[in-house]
Amino acid sequence: MSAESPISAAVDGQAGPPLLELKDVQMMFGGVMALRGVNHRVIAGRINSVIGPNGAGKTTLFNCISGLLKPTEGGVYLDGERIDGLPPHRIAQMGVSRTFQHVALFKHMTVLENVMVGRHPRTRSGFLAAGFRFPGMRREEGLIREEALSHLEFVGMGDLADIPAGSLPLGKQKILEIARALATGPKLVLLDEPAGGLNMKETEELGELIQRVCGKGVTVLLVEHDMNLVMDISHHILVLYFGEPLTEGPPSEVKANPAVIRAYLGESLTDPPAASSK
Amino acid sequence: MQKRDWLIFLAVAVFLAIFPFIAARISAISHYIDIMVFAGIFSIVSLGLCMLMGYAGQVSMAQAAFFGIGAYTSGILTSHFHWHPLPAIPIGCLLSAAVAWLVGVPALRLKGHYLAMATLGFGEIVHIVLNQEVEWTGGPSGLVDIPSLKILGVRISSEEAWYYIVWTAALCTLIFCFNVLRSRVGRALRAIHEEETAADAMGVPTARFKLQVFVLSAVLAAIAGSFYTHYVTFLNPGTFDLMWSIRFVLMVMLGGVQSLWGAVLGTVLLTFIGNEWLRVFADFDILVYGAILLLVALFLPDGLVSIFPKGRSASGNV
């Protein structure tokens, strides 16, 4: 079905080397093929979005990149280094962080502590250093707190530092997940439906925040159903349809692509593959 | 530690310091010093278990086994090989740590009840070994000829001296645990407990941290075991069976599984319940413990510390 939108056509005009490269990534769950060979390059310094109807494999793709799933076939490369098959914490260490579609905060910890956990891959103190409060550990602890606070302030939640994360309204929880992800010091941050459950004003603020994140030099890969948001802020969009790239390109092109419209509205589409990813 | 914890710590330390003087003057409770020595020893075990269970969320039914490994290492080295008691203590810790590491690598892949079952099985194995290796452990008839603790050439024999040594060690352990919890490591452990997937994605090597806290709990249990050996100077496998592992779990749960203070409180209470207050039920102790467990689970899921007001809104129990 993607015959009329060759992917190579959309790749031109992309500056710089790919930060993340997906080579023929396939993911099978039993007999179900959630990803049917995704080839894609994520260029650094931009807001890249992945869209597609429910079950297109967007979250599966994120899980394959962040290490929660190991692709059945194919490879994921970060700055040319292969990362698929590595455990998630190694991938985080290498500079890929993420948020979760269904908020996965540490609910009983404070807002600030949540972000402090995010500093984990950039800090070192272990059990002994912590237990005996070695001077190096105390210095590091002070830095962790400072950096976590600055990330909280960056997302505009500095005043909420000491309340339990679980008591925040959903909108704030989604933003806190972004602050926590940024605290890991990522090159690439994967945002999985950050606008889900947000009202219009919150979504607008989220859009501004994502642009500021990109402005800091962090590459964004965004999965989102809110098309206004995606079309407003994305530099580049990949459309997934039943586990396969349908097309990709800048928002204006993607929006006008008849294949994309068909995929979303289901018009006159014969023979849709009966696969689902979620 | 936060200001509130330091205040509690100070109050507890002062109480512990003067307790022997009070107890010695009232003949009805003069033997409480002896019970408190046991409570102090067990507190070291339950503090480790509290870190493992309450904060990292991993249930272990094998703490009595690690307690036993420490106890028998000290016992065998000092009785068979006539070692000085002090160097035998770190050997017990090392052995316990090594065993915990070996058991933990496969077992900590399991979650919840499965992990509890695996550790329970391991605990039984240790218990069987202690019973069967008669040549080394004395088997069911016990290990005798264990010397008392000697520090700087002075033999520690009086209950009071033991009391102060044991509780100093327990309070040091408490401070150590507080420090760990209020650090990058403690946050990582709590993160694993709450959302393991998210913790992993945020760069926390979850498997390594679970293993490390399991080893820490085993080392603390081994230290306590060494103290126990030299205080009692007689070992018998019955102290290291499943029932004791359950008791340690119960101590932590009674006080409050997510509170270090709770672990100490629960340990002291349960030690008194077992050794003194409910002695008449000695033959039915399983029933008594079962009833306590049931009551705690039903009415005080957060343990006895939940009766006290919290210090701050979030995770004030740290």
Q: Above 90 in pLDDT, residue B74?
A: yes
Q: Above 70 in pLDDT, residue A275?
A: no
CA–CA separation, B267 and B263 (whole Å): 6
pLDDT band at B225 (very low <50, low <70, confident <90, very high): very high
Residues of B in contact with A68 (CB under 8 A): 197, 200-201
Q: What share of chain A is helix, strand, coil (3-state, %, to 5)?
A: 40, 25, 35
Give me the pLDDT at residue A113, please: 97
Mean pLDDT (whole number) for A49-64: 93
pLDDT, tens only, A101-118: 999 999 999 999 999 999
Residue B148: burial class (beta carbons within 10 Å; 0-12, 13-18, 19+):
middle
Q: A120 and B194 in contact by Cβ < 8 A?
A: no
Collect contacts of A132-141 with beta carbons under 8 A, ≥24 apart.
Answer: A132/B176, A132/B179, A133/B179, A137/B183, A137/B184, A140/B184, A141/B183, A141/B184
pLDDT, tens only, B100-125: 999 999 998 888 888 889 999 999 99
Q: Does A62 touch chain B (CB under 8 A)?
A: no
Q: In the numeric block, which tokens belong to residue A70?
A: 């190991």
Q: Which residue is associated with the tokens 């019955």?
A: B238
DSSP helix/strand/coil, B243: helix
Query: Cα-flanking dihedrals φ and ψ of residue B184, to 5°?
Result: -55, -40
What lies within 8 Å, CB to CB, of B64 at 6+ separation is: B123, B127, B221, B239, B240, B241, B242, B243, B244, B245, B247, B248
| Interface test with chain B among A65, A70, A106, A128, by most B beta carbons within 10 Å | A106
> Higher confidence at residue B310 or residue B199?
B199
Give me the pLDDT at residue B318, please: 43
Domains, chain A: 1-95+188-200+217-278 (3.40.50.300), 96-185 (3.40.50.300)
> Higher confidence at residue B46 or residue B296?
B46
Strand A236-241, strand A244-249: pairing: antiparallel
CA–CA separation, A49 and A221 (whole Å): 5
Domain limits, chain B: 3-17+33-307
Give me the pLDDT at residue B317, please: 43
Give me the pLDDT at residue A262, please: 85
pLDDT, tens only, B147-174: 988 888 788 888 999 999 999 999 999 9
Give me the pLDDT at residue A9, please: 37
Average of per-residue pLDDT values in chain B: 91
| Closest residue to B197, CB basis, from A68, A117, A130 | A68
Q: Which residue is associated with the tokens 């948020």?
A: A99
Q: Above 60 in pLDDT, residue A216?
A: yes
Mean pLDDT (whole number) for A157-177: 95
pLDDT, tens only, B17-26: 999 999 989 8
Q: In the numeric block, which tokens belong to residue B31?
A: 């033997």
pLDDT band at A6 (very low <50, low <70, confident <90, very high): very low
Mean pLDDT (whole number) for A11-32: 81
Q: Above 60 in pLDDT, residue B27?
A: yes
Residues of B in contact with A104 (CB under 8 A): 195, 197-198
Mean pLDDT (whole number) for A123-129: 94
Give me the pLDDT at residue B80, please: 93
What lies within 8 Å, CB to CB, of B138 at 6+ separation is: B144, B235
pLDDT, tens only, A195-206: 998 999 999 999
Give me the pLDDT at residue A266, please: 67
Query: What is the secondary structure of B266-310 as a DSSP string?
Result: HHHHHHHIIIIITGGGGGGHHHHHHHHHHHHHHH-TT-GGGGSPP
Distances (CA, A) of B64 to A59, B113, B249: 44, 18, 10
Query: Left if phi > 0, otherwise alpha if psi is -120 to 50, otherwise beta: which for B171?
Result: alpha
Q: Which of the listed CATH numbers 3.30.40, 1.10.8, 1.10.3470, 1.10.287 matches domain B3-17+33-307?
A: 1.10.3470
Q: In the numeric block, which tokens belong to residue A42?
A: 């994520």
Query: Cα-flanking dihedrals φ and ψ of residue B60, to 5°?
Result: -125, 130
Q: Above 80 in pLDDT, residue A10?
A: no
Give me the pLDDT at residue A278, please: 40
Give me the pLDDT at residue B310, please: 62
Give me the pLDDT at residue B53, please: 94
Q: B313 and A164 in contact by Cβ < 8 A?
A: yes
Average of per-residue pLDDT values in chain A: 89
Q: A116 and B203 in contact by Cβ < 8 A?
A: no
CA–CA separation, B221 and B49 (whole Å): 8
Least confident range of A118-122, B221-225, B226-230, B281-285: B281-285
Give me the pLDDT at residue B313, please: 36
Q: A126 and B199 in contact by Cβ < 8 A?
A: no
Q: B314 and A108 in contact by Cβ < 8 A?
A: yes
CA–CA separation, A63 and A105 (whole Å): 17
Give me the pLDDT at residue A15, please: 56
